[in-house]
């Protein structure tokens, strides 16, 4: 198995004819992801990626003709919430939104639509997810991975690559790596992903990579303390040196009103029995000390 993406993934790429969409679709195809369709309004009937992928005008048509079940969105911020809503309305079960810079109120509305449709949204402002050896959806470089049993969930992009590379170098492969996104309003939280990993028979260890802002790490820690006692875990929290009241690049990475600090999150994780690495390179050793076996 694996979670969210795998051999059963039939991907439709929204914005496939754009610069980003085309570039990353090529990388996904090279990795082995089954891209069954692309969507760009008014470009229906064309072929993308040198004739490998048919383009449709609407997601509904793509779903009807190709049985797409997963979507990946590379549409610019002004149009991305609409793309999310279109995917949800078309019956797509898992929607990844890579786009950065979507207004928060637009996301509140999109999340309501996704909820009503019973779909799952990952992101926005996220790098996507990879199940090594099976499929990758999004922008994570395929080269950092190795097949294995550790699940990785992170709010970050390049920091995730750094941590995953450290695991791969140390011989710890991954079942699925998921970037949930750096925005304040995201579709899927740490807690949601922990529950998916807990139910996945092939995931036998979990790495959580958080950062300052909000309280999602604390919520995840509280749940893990109760439900993941037997699962080897390690965590990393970015932003120990971040000043209060400033947005650190990610719209969601801000310590405000004294809450959301790295110290609070580290304390919550440690209290849940999850060791927090001082550097991403320490993650493999912490996993092994927590009982991870290759």
Partner 1 sequence: MKIQEADAKSLLVEQGLPVPGWEVVRSAQEARQAAERAFAGGASLVVIKAQVLVGGRGKAGGVKVAPDADAAEAAARAILALEIKGIPVRKLLVGPAADIVREYYLGAIVDRVSRRIVVMASAEGGVEIEEVAKVNPGAIHRLEAHAHLGLLDWQARQLAFAVGLGGAHLKDFVLIAKGLVTTMLANDADLVEVNPLAVVRETAPDGTTLERLACLDAKITLDDSALFRHPALEALRDLDEEDPVDRQAREEGINFIKLDGSIGCMVNGAGLAMTTMDLVKRAGGEPANFLDIGGGARADKVAAAMRLILADPQVTAILVNIFGGITRGDEVARGLIEARAVQARDVPMVVRIVGTNAAEAATLLEANHFATASSLDDAAAKAVAAAQAAAIAASTAATGRGPGQ
- 86/90 Cα distance (integer angstroms): 6
Tokens of 55: 């383009």
CA-based end-to-end distance of the chain:
17
Q: Is 104 exposed, middle or buried (0-12, 13-18, 19+ CB in 10 A)?
A: exposed
Interacting span for partner 1 (CB under 8 A) from 3-11, 46-54, 65-73, 181-189: 181-189
Residue from the set 239, 266, 272, 292 that interacts with partner 1 by CB under 8 A: 239
> Does residue number 30 form part of the binding site for partner 1 (CB under 8 A)?
no
Cβ proximity to partner 1: between 44 and 142 the closer is 142
> Any contact of residue 246 with partner 1 (CB under 8 A)?
yes
Q: Nearest 5°: CA angle at 122, between 207 and 218?
A: 45
Q: For residue 73, give the H/E element and its range.
A: strand 70-73
Closest by CA to 168, choosing from 149, 152, 148, 145, is: 145
Residues between 51 and 110 that touch partner 1 (CB under 8 A) = 77-78, 101-109
Residue 145: closest CA among 125, 126, 127, 171: 171
Residues contacting partner 1: total by CB under 8 A? 60
Cβ 179 to partner 1 shortest distance, Å: 9
Burial of residue 16 (number of CB atoms within 10 Å: 0-12, 13-18, 19+): buried
Give yes or no for residue 191 binding partner 1 (CB under 8 A): no
Nearer to partner 1, 77 or 198 (CB): 77
250 is catalytic: yes
By the rule CB under 8 A, 195 interacts with partner 1: no
Per CB under 8 A, 209 contacts partner 1: yes
Alpha-carbon gap, residue 98 to 108, rounded angstroms: 17
Q: Should residue 175 be labelled a site residue for partner 1 when binding is judged by CB under 8 A? A: no
CB of 104 to partner 1, least distance (A): 5
Q: Which residue has the tokens 């998916």?
A: 196
Per CB under 8 A, the segment of 8-16, 83-91, 199-207, 231-239 that binds partner 1 is: 231-239
Of 3, 119, 122, 185, the one binding partner 1 (CB under 8 A) is 185
When asked if residue 243 is in the footprint of partner 1 (CB under 8 A), the reply is yes
**Complex with partner 1: residue 16 or 36, whichever CB lies closer:** 16
- What 3-state class would DSSP assign to 223? helix
Distances (CA, A) of 26 to 45, 86, 216, 249, 271: 19, 23, 33, 28, 44
Catalytic residue among 24, 145, 227, 250: 250
List residues with catalytic annotation. Answer: 250
Residues near partner 1 (CB under 8 A) are 77-78, 101-109, 111-112, 127, 139-141, 143-144, 154-162, 165, 182, 184-185, 209, 211-212, 214-216, 236, 238-243, 246-253, 257-258, 262, 278-281
């Amino acid at each position: 198995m694996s979670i969210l993406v795998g051999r059963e993934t039939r991907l439709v790429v929204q914005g496939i004819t754009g610069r980003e969409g085309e570039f990353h679709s090529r990388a996904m195809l090279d990795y082995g992801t089954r891209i069954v369709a692309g969507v760009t309004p008014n470009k229906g009937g064309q072929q993308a990626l040198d004739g490998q992928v048919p383009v449709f005008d609407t997601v509904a048509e793509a779903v009807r003709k190709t049985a797409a079940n997963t979507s990946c969105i590379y549409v610019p911020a002004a149009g991305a919430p609409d793309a999310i809503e279109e995917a949800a309305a078309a019956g797509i079960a898992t929607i990844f939104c890579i786009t950065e810079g979507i207004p928060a109120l637009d996301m509140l509305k999109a999340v309501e639509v996704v909820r009503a449709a019973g779909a799952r949204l990952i992101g926005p402002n996220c790098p996507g997810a990879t199940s090594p050896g099976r499929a990758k959806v999004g922008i994570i470089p395929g080269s950092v991975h190795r097949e294995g049993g550790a699940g990785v969930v992170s709010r970050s992009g390049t920091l995730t690559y750094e941590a995953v590379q450290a695991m791969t170098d140390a011989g710890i492969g991954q079942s699925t790596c998921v970037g949930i996104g750096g925005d304040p309003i995201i579709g899927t939280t740490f807690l949601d992903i922990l529950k998916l990993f807990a139910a996945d028979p092939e995931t036998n260890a979990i790495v959580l990579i958080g950062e300052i802002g909000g309280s999602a790490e604390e919520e995840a820690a509280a749940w893990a303390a109760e439900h993941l006692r037997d699962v080897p875990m390690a965590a990393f929290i970015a932003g120990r040196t971040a000043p209060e009241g400033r947005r650190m690049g990610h719209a969601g990475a801000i310590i405000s009103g004294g809450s959301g600090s790295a110290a609070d999150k580290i304390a919550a994780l440690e209290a849940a029995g999850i060791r927090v690495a001082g550097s991403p390179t320490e993650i493999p050793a912490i996993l092994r000390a927590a009982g991870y076996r290759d």
